């Protein structure tokens, strides 16, 4: 019995170590590719911000699956997926609101307060419309700060931006903490 519980404890620790989000790696990737996209491994879109954020999450160790991926190749006839420049992907990989819904629903992330944001977490921004809010931007936190975290993002590729700056151009935001 003792052996068994130790055995299970070891398994448990092993699994929890293996699935923890590696913020250092995520941050490193974000900083390496904020200016020049990783065009060997991923497509580049005109609106590239969420595609880039997904890459950061993946490089921090969040595993791709049928609901969230972007890989080389074309969609099979039975799949609902999108194609672009030799890649196939899900909307959750590239669309601001879809990534948010995916992360919350699958309990990879939760909405949090800006002061809780750590490197590798995300902030999304919206513009208000007459009928719908337009969640138009996904950014990646690279430095913690209680009120003004440092951010990097794509579309207009920025390696040295910050929350105050993007917030001023938006009508609202949500802070997204990775909890894996
Ligand atoms: C935030 O970013 C803007 C635009 O790049 C810059 O002018 C401002 O100094 C930055 N603020 C801080 C506190 O870094």
pTM over 0.85: yes
Ligand 1 centre to CA of 43 (Å) is 29
Tell me, what DSSP letter sits at residue 158? E
Domains of the chain, each with CATH number or no CATH: 21-178 (3.90.1720)
Ligand 1, atom 5, lies closest to the CA of 161
Ligand 1 neighbours (beta carbon < 6 A):
148, 161-162, 164-165
pLDDT computed for residue 176 by the predictor? 98
Mean pLDDT by groups of 10 residues along the chain of 180 residues: 56 59 98 96 97 98 97 92 96 98 98 97 96 95 97 96 98 97
pLDDT computed for residue 87 by the predictor? 97
Q: Alpha-carbon distance 83 to 179, whole Å? A: 30
- Count of residues for the chain? 180
Looking at the DSSP bridge assignments, the partners of residue 134 are 127
């Amino acid at each position: 019995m003792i052996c068994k519980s130790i055995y299970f404890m070891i398994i448990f620790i092993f699994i929890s170590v293996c699935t923890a989000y590696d913020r250092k790696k995520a941050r490193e990737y974000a900083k390496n590719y904020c200016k020049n996209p990783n065009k060997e491994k991923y497509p580049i879109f005109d609106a590239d911000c969420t595609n880039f954020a997904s890459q950061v999450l993946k490089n921090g160790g969040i595993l791709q699956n049928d609901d969230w991926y972007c890989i080389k190749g074309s969609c099979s006839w039975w799949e609902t997926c999108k194609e672009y420049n030799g890649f196939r992907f899900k909307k959750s990989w590239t669309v601001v609101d879809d990534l948010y819904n995916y992360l919350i629903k699958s309990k990879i992330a939760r909405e949090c307060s800006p002061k809780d944001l750590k490197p590798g977490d995300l902030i999304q921004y919206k513009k208000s419309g007459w009928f719908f809010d337009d969640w138009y931007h996904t950014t990646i936190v690279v430095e913690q700060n209680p009120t003004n975290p440092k951010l990097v993002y794509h579309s207009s590729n920025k390696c040295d931006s910050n929350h105050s700056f993007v917030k001023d151009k938006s009508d609202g935001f949500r802070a997204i903490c990775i909890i894996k």
